[in-house]
Chains A and B, each alone.
Chain A
Amino acid sequence: MTTETLTATQERARPQPRRLALGSWLLSGYGIVGYLFLYLPIIIVVIFSFNDSRSTAKWAGFTIDWYREMLADRQIILSLWNSLFVAIVSTAISTVMGTLAAMGLERYSFRGKLAVDSILYLPIIIPDIAMAIMLLIFFNVSGIGFEPWRVQFLGNRLAVPYSVIIGHVAFNISFVAVVVRARLANMDRTLEEAAQDLYANTWQTFRRVTLPMLMPGILGGALLAFTLSLDDFVITFFTSGAGFNTLPVRVFGMIKKGVTPKINAVSTLMLLFSLALIFISILLRTRAGDEEETIQFGM
């Protein structure tokens, strides 16, 4: 439902259009300020990536040298790809598993549910440093090890850091499940029942009714998982084998020798990359037409 219809119904109910208009203006103003708050440090990061000095605190003129340096740094570029790879893979796995678990837990009651619930929520509760160390010890004690699989893919040597991916999935499942459950808890079940009354089988009901209605929650969970994975340092640091770095691990190492605009340049690149992703998806969407409009995907 849009603002206009909401306002319309309220006008019908109570004749106070001026206050309402003011209220929605205030709300919009607040929303914009809220987003500014979120983007303020990002703007600073971008600005100082062009700083003609090692400092990220004092402006000394414009340069693009830091970008040159960054692009020449083979290790940074490699770690950037590693980060994206780990984030995409672990998000995919944890989204599927977390969504299924959320449905199982929210839709049914059975014996042992509390125990399952607790296991599912524990990874959120545990401090990440403790989780990191215990995963490190676990991989070592169990003999699973950390050495990334080296595989040939389209002629490139690709490292698949299964230990890092496992670590990320382990904490992401829970986050996905929490978000999806919040969505499920509020979901109107009459549509599903109606579908079943019309002799849709379980799969059809799921595919055509439940899944679309659940989509905002699933995508929200996936987005959260992707974000947490991309940003994780502690668990990655302890679960990665020799010679495998993600960007946060790289950056953490670099910070010890001083925060330079080179790090800002890397962040700006990440930002550009995500903006490009959004741009592409907008293009795809406009081409896909109106279908999604009716399904109302959450994001």
Chain B
Amino acid sequence: MQELLRRNPAARAWALIMPSLVFLLVFFVAPLFIVLIYSFLTRGKYGGVVWQFNPENFQRALDPLYFSTFLRSIYIAVVTTLICLVLGYPLAYWITTRPPGQRNLLMLALMIPFWTNFLIRTYAWLTLLRTNTGLINVSLMSLGVIKKPLPLFANDFAIILGLVYGWLPVMVLPIYAALERLDKSLIEAAQDLYATNRHVFLRVIWPLSLPGVVAGSMLVFIPAIGSFVTPAILGGGKSLMIGNIISNQFLAAHDWPFGSALSTLMMLVMLLGTLIYFRSALREGGGV
């Protein structure tokens, strides 16, 4: 056995992967198949399923109402990811410029807000953003900066703000991990060759941090597109994302097969999108 592991790299790879793979096959892929099967079944009257083949669930999912909601979710998730990237990259970079001791603290400090409860943090934003009693509007009005309250709540601005807030650390984490490991001698070499700061960044730092950027973007984009609590609370419940529609099938309409079909479609789209994104991003990075 040991001999096999020493000689055969593929065997070594499998040995490393095996625990996760077996676990996920049993506790993830098997349940996943249940969802797949359910998406072709007929709804039970009040939840559950009737074992009767029914392809209609997928036809219903292509309905313009749901399709436009899906596009809207993609739009919000893309904007969220871009903002997280623009805000998160310099933050990650800043952390790498700190002394090692501080870095550790800063990384931890990045996650600590998230050890308090997600719902509580979202409701805390409400305290700030509310139209008439929100702290921001009240302070601005009492200072005389504005006469009418700003529309900070129950719109896309609030939803995106909430999502950016919620997922920014997840963007910073992998970018930091990539930047921190970056070989500083490369930067020096570039500078010795009289590269401008801009060039050093574009030609050296950015390409080398790309794996982190890709991982971070994925970790932000995917939960953002599937989110349903943030849009419900900060959007004032006035608009929908695809996550709301899916969760409503399970939690309100008792239509599990339709919910399963929507989930399946969403997973397919995201899997494809992720693969394409990965390929192109890594190719771009690999070119340097």
Contacts and interface: CB of A to CB of B under 8 A. Distances in A.
Q: Do chains A and B touch in the complex (CB under 8 A)?
A: yes
Interface of A: 1-3, 6, 9-10, 12-14, 24, 27-28, 30-31, 34-35, 37-42, 44-45, 48, 56-58, 96-98, 100-101, 103-105, 107-108, 110-111, 116, 118-131, 133-135, 137-138, 141-142, 166-167, 169-170, 173, 175, 177-179, 181-183, 185-188, 202, 213, 216-217, 220, 223-224, 226-227, 230-231, 233, 247-248, 251-252, 255, 259, 263-264, 266-268, 270-271, 273-275, 278, 282, 293, 296-299
Contacts of B271: 118, 121-122, 125
Given A42-B121, A104-B12, A173-B20, 19 more contacts: A10-B197, A13-B194, A14-B196, A41-B121, A110-B10, A123-B24, A126-B32, A127-B226, A127-B246, A130-B259, A167-B27, A178-B219, A183-B177, A185-B211, A227-B115, A231-B117, A251-B119, A274-B115, A297-B100
Contact of A137 (B34, B100, B117, B135): B34
B6 to A, nearest CB: 7
Contact of A101 (B16, B93, B112, B215): B16
Nearest to B212: A182
A27 B90 contact: yes
B19 to A, nearest CB: 5
A282 B31 CA distance: 42
Nearest to A108: B13
B91 A34 contact: yes
Contacts of A39: 113
B276 interface: no
Contacts of A27: 90, 93-94, 97
Nearest to A48: B127
9 contacts: A9-B188, A34-B94, A108-B13, A123-B28, A125-B270, A129-B243, A179-B174, A223-B111, A227-B115
B23 A173 contact: yes
B267 interface: yes
Interface string B223-258: 100101100000000000001001100110000100
A101 B20 contact: yes
B34 A138 contact: yes
Given A41-B121, A107-B13, A298-B107, A127 B34 contact: no
Contact of B180 (A44, A48, A177, A298): A298
A-B complex: 10 closest residue pairs judged by Cβ atoms: A104-B16, A108-B13, A41-B124, A13-B191, A130-B263, A31-B94, A127-B226, A101-B20, A134-B31, A104-B17
Given A56-B123, A299-B107, A100 B266 contact: no
Nearest to B94: A31
B288 interface: no
Contacts of B91: 30-31, 34
B274 interface: yes
A32 to B, nearest CB: 9
Given A14-B194, A126-B267, A186 B99 contact: no
A293 B100 contact: yes
A185 B177 CA distance: 10
B119 A129 contact: no
A74 to B, nearest CB: 19
A237 B178 CA distance: 35
Contacts of A14: 191, 194, 196
B31 A138 contact: yes
Contact of A42 (B20, B90, B113, B133): B113
Contacts of B135: 44
Given A34-B87, A127-B243, A183-B177, A264 B120 contact: yes
Interface in B72-130: 87, 90-91, 93-95, 97-101, 103-121, 123-128, 130
A28 B181 contact: no
Nearest to B121: A41
B260 interface: yes
Nearest to B95: A31
Contacts of B114: 227, 230-231
B120 A186 contact: no
B163 interface: no
B13 A122 contact: no
A97 B23 contact: yes
A111 B103 CA distance: 39
A178 B216 CA distance: 9
Given A129-B243, A138-B27, A187-B181, A267 B266 contact: no
A104 B260 contact: no
A182 B178 contact: yes
A183 B6 CA distance: 25
A229 B165 CA distance: 18
A129 B246 contact: yes
Contacts of B247: 127, 129
B202 interface: no
Nearest to A59: B135
Contacts of B284: none
B206 to A, nearest CB: 13
Contacts of B125: 41
